[in-house]
A and B are shown apart, each in its own frame.
Chain A
Amino acid sequence: MLVSVILIAGLGLIFGAFLGYAAKKFGIEKDERIEKIIEVLPGANCGSCGYAGCADFADKVVKGVAKANLCTPGGESVSIAIAELLGVQEIEIRDTMVARVRCQGNHFKTIKKYELDTVLKSCAEARLFFHGDKSCIYGCLGYGDCVRHCPFDAIKITEQGIAVVDENKCVGCGKCVRTCPKQIIKLQNSEKRYTVLCNSKEHALHAKAGCDIACIACGKCLEVCPASAITLENNLAVIDYKKCTGCGLCALKCPTDAIFSEIKDLDFVEILKEKCIGCTKCKKVCPNSAIIGELKSPHEVVEKECIGCGICEKSCPVHAIIKKKK
């Protein structure tokens, strides 16, 4: 017994010593910045930077192949930390992105065409049978392929059978975007609150037959958008986020509620009475007629009507209008 213990320990010691010597003799010096950058990175190995995991990204950054600001989960703080380690002064900070599931067709809005009776319930599998069991063939199937792939636990399938992203947890790595067999999930700037939450490319009649809350491409949002940021593509309203100012008029006018809005969280404006000169400029530009008041007398905002688009704020010559959070 004792002999075997001593023997194994002795052999281990000999081989260990040999390896230690070899490491000194043959080892190559690694850039110590690589290790430091790996420590800074989130370590989720999500691959959103385009490299095979955090270690590979760190290696490529040090070599100068990759840019320092590519880590989406890490965001601004990690980009700055990497830039500091590399001794780079200027880096572009990229917009923080979040994933949004562009479908609201839950069990109440859609019909199940059939019951998926298989062992593994997955979206990819359901899609194989007649484009999935939902009455809308473009809709979220709700079997949670995205949930299983999310490294940050930010997606949930609600009780109504639809995937919803928790935007506080989502870091915008885009793994779900690549996973979703229906290609419903898209990345977008987290600042932009308005999204067309529908993916149906059907004509209005078919779209509406499949789902109560579908975009029917009526074009009302198109007409109302003050920044003309909306276009119709394949029977679907598409918002150009480079132009979108986030006023929310489209969501207000949408007859089927296909454009998502968080009306409760919206800003509203207030007119500072002492500054207002009563020029009526704001009253004229207000798209929702939420400003009342006569010429040359202080104007007022009807809070119920105001959607917080901020168009009046820009028009005011004396800066008497300020945005407020509700």
Chain B
Amino acid sequence: MSLSLLFGIVITSIFINNVIFAQFLGLCPFFGVTKKLSSALGMGMAVIFVLTISSAITWVVNDYILVPFKLEYLQTVVFILVIASLVQFVELLIQKSAPTLYQALGVFLPLITTNCAVLGIALINMTKSYGFIAATVNGLATAIGFTVALLLMAGIREKLEYSDIPNSFKGLPITFITAGLLAIAFMGFSGMKL
């Protein structure tokens, strides 16, 4: 696996094929925890941790357990099992090490279990038949792209708090419009060829 290919995966996953702005996966935390920059960063970190490790583990499980037994059709179920236990583990870790972050993330932390971004990337890794390193790097890069999107959004929303928005657009409506504009901006990357 050449380094240039890995670099290509990283740039593609973060910018060109951004998980939120181009693939529209994992939108729930994107709107749910982007009210404050600090909680957005915490959520991003949790997703980076879960996605990277789940990409690695799901690859191992797929290649050494599911493929030899010809049980690829069980991918979805097994991957969810892996992700769910990982999220539980992360929840324990955060609750112990950063109780305030745990409070701020609230219900969105256990919701990573059902976050389609996490499951989606694990499944995409399999369909693109990446190797172990490529799959892990793809997971990490996608999660970084997710965090970038969350931080951008949180930054804008914190500024939006102080701006004069028409009454009917206050709250979620203006957030949806902002998200749409951001997605259009990210479309600019799609012209890049790597």
A binds B: yes
A130 at the A/B interface (Cβ < 8 Å)?
A: no
A21-68 residues with Cβ-Cβ distance < 8 A to B are 22-23, 26-28
Interface size bracket, A side: 10 to 19
B89 at the A/B interface (Cβ < 8 Å)?
A: yes
B162 at the A/B interface (Cβ < 8 Å)?
A: no
**Are B74 and A7 interface neighbours, CB within 8 A?**
yes
Give Cα A19–Cα B92 distance, bound, in whole angstroms: 9
A13 to chain B, nearest CB (A): 11
Closest-by-CB residue of A relative to B102 is A28
Given contacts A7-B65, A8-B77, contact A18 B85 (CB under 8 A): yes
Give Cα A4–Cα B61 distance, bound, in whole angstroms: 13
Q: Which of B78, B81, B92 contacts A22 (CB 8 A)?
A: B92
Q: Which of B69, B77, B85, B96 contacts A15 (CB 8 A)?
A: B85
**Are B81 and A8 interface neighbours, CB within 8 A?**
yes
A99 to chain B, nearest CB (A): 29
**Are A8 and B74 interface neighbours, CB within 8 A?**
yes
B58 to chain A, nearest CB (A): 11
Q: Which of A4, A15, A26, A28 contacts B81 (CB 8 A)?
A: A15
**Are A3 and B71 interface neighbours, CB within 8 A?**
yes
Given contacts A3-B69, A26-B93, A28-B96, contact A19 B74 (CB under 8 A): no
> Contacts of B61 on A, CB cut-off 8 Å?
11
B95 at the A/B interface (Cβ < 8 Å)?
A: yes
B88 at the A/B interface (Cβ < 8 Å)?
A: yes
A12 at the A/B interface (Cβ < 8 Å)?
A: yes
**Are B96 and A26 interface neighbours, CB within 8 A?**
yes
B82 at the A/B interface (Cβ < 8 Å)?
A: yes
The digit string for B72-108, where 1 denotes a CB below 8 A from any CB of A, is: 0010011001100100110011011000000000000
Give Cα A22–Cα B60 distance, bound, in whole angstroms: 21
> Contacts of A22 on B, CB cut-off 8 Å?
88-89, 92
A210 to chain B, nearest CB (A): 30
**Are A19 and B88 interface neighbours, CB within 8 A?**
yes
B15 to chain A, nearest CB (A): 34
**Are A11 and B89 interface neighbours, CB within 8 A?**
no
Give me the 4 closest cross-chain CB pairs, A-B, nearest first. Answer: A15-B85, A26-B92, A26-B96, A28-B96
Q: Which positions in B face A, CB cutoff 8 Å?
A: 61, 65, 69, 71, 74, 77-78, 81-82, 85, 88-89, 92-93, 95-96
In the complex, besides A11-B61, A11-B81, A15-B82, 6 extra interface pairs with C-beta distance below 8 angstroms are A3-B69, A8-B77, A18-B85, A19-B85, A19-B89, A28-B95
